[in-house]
Copies of this chain bind each other. A is one copy, B any other.
Amino acid sequence: MNIILFERDELVSGRLTLRDHRARHIVKVLRSSPGDSLRVGEINGRRGRAEILSMVKKYPFMVELRVDLTTEADAPPVIDLLLALPRPIMLRRILSQVTALGVGAIHLINANRVEKSFWEAGITDEAEYRPHLIQGLEQAVDTRLPAVYLHRRFRPFVEDTLPELLHGYESFVVAHPESASSLKECLANRKGRVLYGIGPEGGWVDFEVERFMEAGMKDFSMGPRILKVDTATVAIHGRISQLLEEL
């Protein structure tokens, strides 16, 4: 936790009273004392510092802070993720990892090789997935939550939603090991927003790749090595970030 984040309605007259895992973290991990200053931020808002006014260092922990927000939130990241819904344990890790790396939006979509049961898992509820996004922000010292969208049916998504969505991007690419193109060719020296797509374990089926191509997306391969979804999602974010930095 490299920044203490809070919800807007937790702040009352510039004061914040924490009694949950954040209070515990301040006591047990940071080992702070009254008078100490901490990095804080309002979720989807500004960052700043907070001074510890009072605290209870034993369970049940309590930390009272006077908050001074001074820095506007960073501009939203220019990379968004289109991800075939992975199994819940992997989704949790990916959500916090890509939030830490920086994504503006995460579109979770259905695909032939997505197990139906994944859509019934609790992690598709905002109350369940939001804490993993917040973990990523706490790690990366960011305040801006990625937007998460769930698209439970592939065909309506790809035919009705995707073409409209792509207007918001300069580049839209989908990882597909059988492609003959490289990522660099697909980005084609275009500055601006990028949407990148990652398939399910076992990959996209041909029908899905064809629909993406029809919608105007470009497919790319990174060579013959087959990667797990979480590894691919993070490694490709790194590759796209590197390419964008060079423009």
Task: Say whether A101 contacts B224, CB under 8 Å.
Answer: no
Task: Say whether B242 contacts A184, CB under 8 Å.
Answer: yes
A131 at the interface (CB under 8 A from B): no
Mask, A167-188, CB within 8 Å of B = 1, is 0000000000000001110000
A97 at the interface (CB under 8 A from B): yes
Q: A185 to chain B: closest CB distance in Å?
A: 11
Mask, A215-245, CB within 8 Å of B = 1, is 0000000101111101100111111011101
Instruction: Give 16 A-B pairs besides A100-B225, A140-B226 with Cβ atoms closer than 8 angstroms.
Output: A97-B231, A100-B228, A100-B231, A101-B227, A102-B225, A139-B226, A140-B225, A222-B241, A231-B234, A234-B234, A234-B235, A234-B238, A235-B235, A238-B239, A239-B241, A239-B242
Number of copies of this chain in the oligomer?
A: 2
Task: Say whether A246 contacts B100, CB under 8 Å.
Answer: no
Task: Say whether A245 contacts B141, CB under 8 Å.
Answer: no
Find chain B residues with CB under 8 A from A230 CB. 97
Find chain B residues with CB under 8 A from A224 CB. 141
- A2, A227, A237: which has the most chain B beta carbons within 10 Å? A227
Chain A interface size, under 10 / 10 to 19 / 20 to 34 / 35 or more: 20 to 34
Task: Say whether A228 contacts B182, CB under 8 Å.
Answer: no
- A140, A238, A239: which has the most chain B beta carbons within 10 Å? A238
A238 to B238, CA, bound (A): 5
A128 to B8, CA, bound (A): 47
Q: A72 to chain B: closest CB distance in Å?
A: 14
Other-chain contact of A101, B140, B142, B231, B242 (Cβ < 8 Å): B231
